Structure 1
């Protein structure tokens, strides 16, 4: 039997971060926050991302994951903490959302890579690591809108995901 690639990460500090995000967003739908420990190196990043997606009952995207630079990953994470996807209402003040998003990205090392499913909403453009603007998205769930961030380094896969309905 093959060892699983991912195990749930049970670090209390990470659990505390998810609680802080959920508490800040108490006036809106909760986000999915998850951390998985890699038990072996994936053959490709997509293998680890898809394994994490399946663990969360999301659809895997395989080669359709879009890799984004860290600065765009921070914008995506900040946006989904601060706002609903379908409506422009601010749920969490921008400074607080930026701080929480920075804490999410800080869970990973300097060689982390960041991925998303496309560009759903927000007042900023999403660019991939080659500098190309991303238009549209591929859903990971049954929700009309879903967006967020899957990220990994050599130890962890981190997920911060939003599902919204119009």
Structure 2
């Protein structure tokens, strides 16, 4: 299989997409990994842990739609396939963190609130955590 992160970055044509899967010595603590990637960390209590299904829904939404105006970037089916392929990189014991509350009953209508980890107007995604950050898929859009 081709590198899923390269495919995701190619297909999401709006804003900026950051996607990495880490192994071995590249797995670092959240604060250190985010700093290494140029992100800000937020306090532990502001990170929201979500299950794998909600991680898939969140990623599908932010891959399929622009964060600022909810303009379609790619077909929902394609975004769902990419989200699933990214999540398959992680075993069942992986935790998923996000910076935002999302209305999963109203996909395509945006998120409810968020705590930014970038200087972009809008940013969200998931961080996959298991004994350190093992993956990140984050999108940034401007108004």
TM-score range, shorter chain: 0.7 to 0.9
Q: Equivalent residue of 1:18, what SS?
A: helix
Does residue 17 of structure 2 align to residue 31 of structure 1? yes
Say if 1:77 and 1:149, in contact at 8 Å, map to a contact too. yes
* CA–CA separation in structure 1 for the residues paired with 2:20 and 2:27: 19
Unaligned stretches of 5+ residues in structure 1: 1-12, 43-47, 125-133
Does residue 123 of structure 2 align to residue 136 of structure 1? no
Q: Equivalent residue of 1:136, what SS?
A: strand
Which residue of 82, 89, 101 maps to 1:100?
A: 82
Which residue of 104, 127, 135 maps to 1:150?
A: 127
Say if 1:37 and 1:155, in contact at 8 Å, map to a contact too. no
Counterparts in 2 of 1:62 and 1:89: CA distance versus 1, 3 Å? same
Say if 2:30 and 2:133, in contact at 8 Å, map to a contact too. no
Counterparts in 2 of 1:146 and 1:120: CA distance versus 1, 3 Å? farther
Q: TM-score under structure 2 normalisation?
A: 0.83
Unaligned stretches of 5+ residues in structure 2: none
Coordinate RMSD, CA, aligned: 2.7
